[in-house]
Structures are given as structure tokens and as C-alpha cells.
Amino acid sequence: MKTPTLSRAEQLPQTLSRTQAQSRPNSATDVLVVGAGPTGMACAIEAQKAGFKSLIVDKGCLVNSIYHYPVNMVFFTTPELLEIGDIPFTTASAKPNRQEALEYYRRVAEHYHLNVRQYEWVKTITGEDGNFRVTTTNRHDAIHDYRARKIVLATGYYDLANQLAIPGEDLEKVFHYYREPHPYFDTDVVVIGGKNSAAEAALDLWRHGARVTLVHRGAEIHNHVKYWVRPDIENRIRAGEITAHFNSSVREINADSVVLQTPSGPVHVKNDFVFALTGYHPDYDFLRSVGIELATEQLRPVCDPENLESNVPGIYVAGVIVAGSRTNEIFIENGRFHGRLIAGHISERLGGGNPNFPLDAT
């Protein structure tokens, strides 16, 4: 996803050349975690509790996926199931919202003094168990090198949207993420999908003055949609306030319309914007690039279920990527416990933090 545009004052000084950036001292750590989501944070916290120095690198901000959730989103789960690091998550209501979650995870990061390198994109992971080298680039194309004894991959899946692979998907009017309704007031909007993201976006857009058409390949709204959302969207469809085409798909997106394939044949729908909320997937290419094997079915990384070490010694997988394409199997609620499994195994292998491993203050 695009990173925020920086003001001139926030940019690196003009005198900092690419060569100078490359010449910065390397950073060394016991455990390097790729991904600063709740699971990645939990892995770093558990590593620290076990006596190891940890470092987190993320191409976005802290809990980047939650930041990019819809502004008014409410979690399906209760706050205690989102807790990490034994820090209580208190909210004003039974179910926390996006803003409360962002505040909570910032507080956890501050409490544990987590070393998080935000807006750094991991380009390569080389080396071997006990002596890995990780190369990253930041927003200014500066290159950073890290050394680590162990690697934990907790990269999630929300950054990569499932593509429709249809004509017009690359038009500027098409989005794979939904944030807020205001820009779409008094416009014709097509929402593609039938699960939580699509249902909630359709309702939010309709309530704020958009004319909404929902398109879903299934016969009805998915039964996994939040229990308070499903009757709401079904009632809006039944009342004709939101138009719905089930057992249908979008075949083409044009500047001012979309073409649907419906049970009764092709249908042209007047349209200004399209939200293709058809799900997301892990970065399989990145996993393969570090040598991790993926199962033929469901693309699950090959790993030991007892400790989550992958087929590459010293590299662990954590969070939703453990489930491969079955992204609905692992959430914050269960992924947050992966850190304990991994830290326990690292402790067995290394016997605690090693003061003789060369570390620096960068």
C-alpha cells in the first residue's frame, strides 16, 4: 500500500547520498521479526521476555493492516481476545473499534520499548541459521543491513488484494480497500463481494448517500458475516434500498458503467466507483524467495506445528500466513499465541540471550 507523502522537512537531508546510506553501520539482533502487526509484536515481546534482543521491521506503520481498516470499523471479537503481552485492553463498549485498537497497540509498543523500524521494506534474507542477513530499503531508497540469529515472518495478508483479472480493473475508480463513505455521496457505487468487508462497506456507503449495487458470486450474503451486520444488509436489500445481484460477477469495468454477468444474462449498470472487496492473500512470492516451501493445496508454508519453524532452519512463520490461502482460520485471537511457541523453541535452541553475539546501538 502507498506510504504517506512526506513534507520536505520530514525527508532525508539532501546531503545524504545513497552511498552514505549504504555505509551506515549494520544492526545485529537475536530475533528479527518481519511484520509489525499484533502477531509480530507478540513474537517480539515473547522473545524479549525470554532474554533475547528483538527487532521488528515493517514496510508500513505499526499494525499497518488495522490502520487501513475502515475508519468506523468495529471488531467482531471482544477486547480481551486482542490482548498481547499481558497488557489489558479496556474499552468503553463490549466490542472495540479500530481507533481503540490503534491506541492499544501503540501503548503496548511503548510499554515494552519495542524496537520497530517502520516504513522499511525487506528486500532479501540470506545466510543461515544463527547468522542471517536482512537487507531493507526505506521511503528514501536508503539501504539498511541487519544481522539476526533467528527470523520470524509475520507478514499477514492484508497488503495483497485478490485481483478480479477483468478489463478495467486498473481504472482509477476501482479500489480494493474501503476507508470512509464521504467522497462517494450522491454517486453510483458497485461493491463486489458478499462477506464482512463488502457488507459493511455497502451499508456505510448507503447510509451516507451513495446509490449502492452489491454484486456477489454466491447465492446470498455469506453466513460468516457479523451477526449484527447480516440482518441489516439483508433488510436493506429486501427493501430495495441496496440493489443486489447474487450468483453474479463483474465482467468488465468501464469509465461510466460496469458489465455484470447474471443468471438472466449480461446487465449494464451505471457506475462512478467500484469497491472490489473480494479478499486478500499472503505474499507467497516473498515466502518462496527465502526458501520456504508451500504445500500444493492451500499454499500453507511447510513448518513444524509444534514450534512453527519452517523448512528453512532458523526461520519461523507466525500469524495468518501459517494457514496459507485459508486466511479465515487464523486471526489476532489465535495468532497472538504463536510468539510463545516460537520463543520457547528459540530458547531451547539457544539457551537464552547471548551477550557474546555482536550487537550495536543502531
Non-local (6+) Cβ contacts of 112 within 8 A are 44, 45, 48, 85
Residue 362 is assigned to a structural domain of this protein: no
Same domain? For 271 and 284 the reply is no
Domain that holds residue 62: 8-160+280-350
Residue 359 is assigned to a structural domain of this protein: no
Residue 36 is assigned to a structural domain of this protein: yes
Same domain? For 79 and 214 the reply is no
Residue 355 is assigned to a structural domain of this protein: no
Question: Which CATH number covers residue 200?
Answer: 3.50.50.60
Q: What are the cell numbers at 66?
A: 488495522
Written as tens digits, the pLDDT of the chain (362 aa) is: 333 333 323 333 333 333 333 434 458 999 999 999 999 999 999 999 999 999 999 999 999 999 999 999 999 899 999 999 999 999 988 899 999 999 999 999 999 999 999 999 999 999 999 999 999 999 999 999 999 999 999 999 988 999 999 999 999 999 999 999 999 999 999 999 999 999 999 999 999 999 999 999 999 999 989 999 999 999 999 999 999 999 999 999 999 999 999 999 999 999 999 999 999 999 999 999 999 999 988 999 999 999 999 999 999 999 999 988 887 787 888 889 999 999 999 999 998 655 444 444 33
Residue 98 is assigned to a structural domain of this protein: yes
Same domain? For 69 and 118 the reply is yes
E-strand ranges in 75-161 read 116-117, 120-128, 131-138, 143-153
Same domain? For 91 and 148 the reply is yes
Same domain? For 250 and 328 the reply is no
Neighbours of 152 (CB within 10 A): 32
How far is C-alpha 319 from the geometric centre of its chain's CA atoms?
A: 10
Domain count, the chain: 2
Same domain? For 147 and 218 the reply is no
Please say which residue of 276, 310, 339 terminates a domain: 276
Residue 168 is assigned to a structural domain of this protein: no
Per the listing, cell 477483468 goes with 166
Per the listing, cell 499472503 goes with 282
**Residues linked to residue 56 through DSSP beta bridges, in sequence order:** 33, 116
DSSP assignment of 241-282 equals: SSEEE-S-EEEEE-SSEEEEEETTEEEEEE-SEEEE---B--
Please say which residue of 276, 298, 332 terminates a domain: 276
Give this prediction's pTM: 0.86
Same domain? For 315 and 345 the reply is yes
Residue 166 is assigned to a structural domain of this protein: no
Please say which residue of 276, 296, 322 terminates a domain: 276
Same domain? For 236 and 142 the reply is no
The answer to whether 149 touches 131, Cβ cutoff 8 Å, is yes
Same domain? For 73 and 220 the reply is no
3-state secondary structure of 37: coil
